[in-house]
């Protein structure tokens, strides 16, 4: 017999800047940073995806706590929490509060996947990995009053992205997001030392069917006419044949979008031109460091280190196609010194990189980096609310925590100074005139 459940999915409010107050003040007073923050926003695709996996006869809603407060008195049977590490402390508070009120609480997402036992200290059921098989199973177990403590994707066949249902973006359509995140692929072959995403998706790179991606974008554009689409994929252009098929499919879907990829896309000028024509305006690329020795330690096969010498050429090719690069750098890597901050700023300025994100090396639970830092006795704090990547939680061999936190500002103040902004604006103006053939 079917039992209709009242379900609420929650994305807990994150710690965001943690305790880095100098950086917070800079963010709040810099117009450029305010613009970046406006777009560095939104709700990941997890909860709309989970809602899409929920049978129709249940009642389901989504609360993004960054936008709406949680109603703890709502009549509910099940609460489902998601969260990255910096959201975990708040997720646990929410779980404790709902459980006090007799509501059944489940949790999934990257933090619960890598630390399921910690999560089980606060929630009734924990999910590890993807939820396409396990969430529907859990709901039917709850209907029969037999939910399990753990559901692990590793015990089920691989998730087939070709057949997953449309995410329920309609449930959050009232939220005025400048960017709506859509997922087209899962996995990343690079498996960098500091990234734990592989623990959620495994190492096999997979993608949704191109028609499914087009359907999702059409739905997002129906619900948010003026928002941009951000692809939630860690590395979207790995399979170039699939990218070509996707671009064919998307030709009739007008939208402006961002994506994340490695620099290998720079070697495909035909694709760059088509990506630009299709509406790709900003590409987030993890350059990570301008120091080759640092890069050698990142991937076991030295993928990024081998490309360092060609970074300038790759940047010029991508930006020359009208796609601005938002480059991400990490400070606090082993071979960084107090000169690193100026070196990164000089690299960004010399290469006219459109936007830059600099964060501090963070040993996220589940990452290979964390295991190494633990062995080396270099974890300075495991307070998850500081795992924002804008706080120093490691002991560096040469730089103190406050030097690392202050160093971030050096880079931001240089690359977003009035002078540099003006110079880059002139560079991009010329670049767009060239593209327009003038
Ligand atoms: C979109 C995104 C954002 C967005 C929106 C975040 C949000 N609040 O929702 C923005 C741009 C704001 C953002 C910011 C940050 N992000 Co972010 N972000 C992403 C990104 C690129 C995609 C997330 C997504 O939509 N995935 C698609 C969904 C479908 O996949 P999923 O979440 O894995 O969900 C599946 C399973 O995990 C599971 N699941 C997930 N939740 C639940 C819940 C239940 C109940 C169940 C049953 C199952 C389940 O089922 C899903 C389907 O199979 C991920 C990369 C990634 N690989 O996920 C990084 C990622 C989550 N971000 C990360 C980080 C570090 C940050 C920042 C802290 C970094 C920074 N300094 O900028 C900031 C924090 C900002 C803040 N506001 O607090 C890290 C998290 C690492 C960690 N362990 O904490 C990730 C993994 C990137 C990485 N590769 O390291 N981010």
We report the CATH number of the domain holding residue 360 as 3.80.30.20
385 is a domain residue: yes
pLDDT at 41: 85
Q: Which of 19, 63, 84 to mutate to test the pocket of ligand 1 (most atoms within 8 A of CB)?
A: 84
Residue ending a domain, among 86, 121, 155, is 155
Does residue 259 form part of some domain? yes
Burial of 323 (C-beta count, 10 Å sphere; 0-12/13-18/19+): buried
Q: Residues lining ligand 1, judged by CB closer than 6 Å?
A: 11, 14, 16, 40-46, 49-50, 80-82, 84-86, 106-111, 127, 130-132, 135, 181, 183, 195-197, 200, 232, 234, 359, 364, 388-390
Question: Do both 139 and 190 map to the same domain?
Answer: no
d(CA 183, CA 42): 13
Q: Which of 198, 205, 203, 234 is nearest to 367 (CA)?
A: 198
Instruction: Tell whether 30 is covered by a domain.
Output: no
Name the residue with higher pLDDT: 19 or 376: 376
Q: Which of 15, 39, 45, 46 to mutate to test the pocket of ligand 1 (most atoms within 8 A of CB)?
A: 46
Specify the pLDDT at position 124.
Answer: 98
The mean per-residue pLDDT over the stretch 295-306 comes to 85
Res. 145 pLDDT band, cuts 50 70 90: very high
Q: Which residues are registered as beta bridge partners of 324?
A: 282
Residues 106 and 244 in one domain: no
* Residue 191, pLDDT score: 80
3-state secondary structure the chain: CCCCCEEEEEECCCCCCCCCHHHHHHHHHCHHHHHHHHHCCCCCCHHHHHHHCCCCCCEEEEEECCCCCCCCCCCCCEEEECCCHHHHHHHHHHHHHHHHCCCEEEECCHHHHHCHHHHHCCCCEEEECCCCCHHHHHHHHHHCCCCCCEEEHHHCCCCCHHHCCCCCHHHHCCCCCCEEEECCEECCCCCCCCCCHHHHHCCCCEECCHHHHHHHHHHHHHHCCCCEEEECCCCCCCCHHHHHHHHHHHCCCCCCEEEECCHHHHHCHHHHHHHHHCCEEEEEEEEECCCHHHHHHHCCCCHHHHHHHHHHHHHHHHHHCCCEEEEEEEECCCCCCCCHHHHHHHHHHHCCCCEEEEEECCCCCCCHHHHHHHHCCCECCCCHHHCCCCCCCECCCCCCHHHHHHHHHHHHHHHCCHHHHHHHHHHHHHHHHHHCCC
Query: 312 pLDDT exceeds 70?
Result: yes
Q: What pLDDT is recorded for position 190?
A: 83
Q: Are residues 112 and 235 in the same domain?
A: no
Looking at the fold, whether 210 and 334 belong to one and the same domain comes out as: yes
Position in ligand 1 atom list of the atom nearest CA 14: 78
Is position 250 within any domain? yes
Task: Say which range, 32-36, 143-147, 204-208, 413-417, has the weakest mean pLDDT.
Answer: 32-36
Answer whether residue 416 is part of any domain. yes
Q: How far is CA 185 from CA 205, 243, 427, in A?
A: 7, 11, 33
Q: Are residues 366 and 289 in the same domain?
A: yes
Per-residue pLDDT reduced to its tens digit, 218-267: 999 999 999 999 999 999 999 999 999 999 999 988 889 999 999 999 99
What is the rounded average pLDDT of the residues 159-172? 94
Q: Are residues 256 and 394 in the same domain?
A: yes
In this prediction, what percent of the chain has a pLDDT beyond 90?
Answer: 83
Is residue 200 domain-shared with residue 151, that is, in the same domain?
Answer: no
What is the pLDDT, as a whole number, of residue 1?
A: 65
**In this structure, is residue 163 part of a structural domain?**
no
Say if residue 19's pLDDT is above 80: no
- Residue nearest (by alpha carbon) to ligand 1 atom 10: 41
Does pLDDT of 438 surpass 70? no
Q: What pLDDT shows up at residue 435?
A: 87
Structure tokens at 189: 């072959």
- Strand order across the 179-182 sheet: 179-182, 228-231, 257-260, 280-288, 324-331, 355-360
* Domains identified in the chain, total number: 2
Kindly report the CATH number assigned to the domain that includes residue 100.
3.40.50.280
> For all residues of the chain together, what is the average pLDDT?
94
**pLDDT attached to residue 370:** 97
Model confidence pLDDT, tens digit, residues 345-387: 999 999 999 999 999 999 999 999 999 999 999 999 999 999 9
Among the listed residues 5, 369, 383, the one whose alpha carbon sits nearest the alpha carbon of residue 199: 369
Q: Does 173 fall in a domain?
A: no
CA distance linking residue 364 with residue 400, whole number of Å: 19
Identify the domain boundary among 108, 123, 155.
155
Q: Closest ligand 1 atom to the C-alpha of 40? A: 11
Instruction: pLDDT band for 303, please (50, 70, 90 cuts).
Output: confident
Say whether both 294 and 216 belong to one domain: yes
Reading the block at residue 253, the tokens are 């879907």
Which of 124, 155, 186 corresponds to the end of one domain?
155
Q: What percent of the chain has pLDDT over 70?
A: 99
Question: Are 239 and 135 in the same domain?
Answer: no
Q: Same structural domain for residues 111 and 250?
A: no
Same domain, yes or no, for 354 and 418?
yes
pLDDT digit string, tens, across residues 39-77: 888 999 999 999 999 999 999 999 999 999 999 999 999
Cβ atoms 241, 275 nearer than 8 A: no
pLDDT for 437: 81
Model pLDDT, residue 84: 96
- Indicate if 324 and 211 belong to the same structural domain: yes
Whole-Å CA distances, 301 to 204, 306, 313, 333, 364: 17, 9, 22, 18, 21
Domain housing 48: 6-20+43-155
**8 Å CB contact between 123 and 98:** no
Considering the domain boundaries, does residue 65 fall inside one? yes
């Amino acid at each position: 017999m079917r039992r209709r459940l009242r379900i609420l999915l929650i994305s807990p409010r994150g710690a965001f800047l943690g305790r880095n107050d100098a950086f917070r003040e800079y963010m709040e007073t810099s117009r450029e940073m305010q613009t970046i923050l406006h777009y560095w926003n939104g709700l990941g695709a997890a909860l709309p995806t989970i809602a899409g996996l929920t049978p129709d006869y249940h009642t389901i809603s989504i609360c993004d706590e960054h936008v709406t407060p949680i109603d703890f008195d709502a009549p509910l049977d099940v609460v489902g929490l998601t969260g990255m590490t910096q959201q975990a402390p708040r997720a646990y508070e929410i779980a404790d509060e709902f459980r006090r009120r007799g509501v059944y609480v489940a949790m999934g997402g990257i933090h619960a996947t890598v630390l399921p036992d910690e999560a089980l200290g606060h929630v009734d059921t924990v999910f590890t990995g993807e939820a396409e098989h396990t969430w529907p199973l859990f709901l039917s177990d709850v209907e029969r009053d037999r939910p399990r403590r753990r559901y692990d994707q590793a015990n089920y066949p691989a998730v087939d992205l070709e057949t997953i249902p449309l995410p329920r973006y309609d449930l959050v359509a009232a939220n005025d997001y400048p960017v709506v995140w859509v997922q087209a692929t899962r996995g990343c072959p690079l498996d960098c030392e500091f990234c734990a995403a592989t623990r959620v998706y495994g190492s096999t790179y997979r993608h949704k069917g191109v028609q499914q991606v087009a359907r999702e974008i059409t739905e997002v554009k129906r619900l948010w006419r003026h928002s941009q689409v951000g692809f939630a994929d860690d590395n979207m252009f790995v399979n170039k044949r699939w990218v070509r098929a996707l671009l064919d499919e998307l030709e009739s879907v007008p939208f402006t979008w961002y994506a994340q990829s490695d620099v290998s896309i720079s070697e495909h000028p035909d694709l760059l031109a088509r990506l630009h024509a299709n509406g790709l305006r900003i590409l987030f690329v993890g350059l990570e460091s301008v120091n080759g020795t640092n890069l050698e330690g990142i991937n076991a096969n030295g993928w990024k280190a081998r490309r360092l010498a060609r970074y300038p050429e790759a940047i010029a090719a991508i930006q020359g196609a009208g796609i601005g690069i938002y480059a991400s750098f990490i400070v606090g890597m082993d071979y960084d010194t107090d000169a690193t901050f100026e070196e990164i700023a000089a690299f960004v300025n010399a290469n006219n990189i459109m936007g830059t994100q600099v964060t501090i090396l963070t040993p996220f639970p589940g990452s290979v980096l964390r295991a190494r830092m633990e062995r080396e006795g270099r974890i300075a704090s495991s307070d998850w609310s500081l795992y924002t990547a804008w706080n120093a939680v490691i002991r560096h061999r040469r730089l103190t925590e406050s030097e690392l936190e202050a160093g971030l500002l050096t880079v931001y103040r240089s690359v977003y100074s009035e002078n540099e902004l003006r110079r880059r604006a002139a560079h991009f103006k010329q670049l767009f005139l060239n593209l327009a053939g003038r």
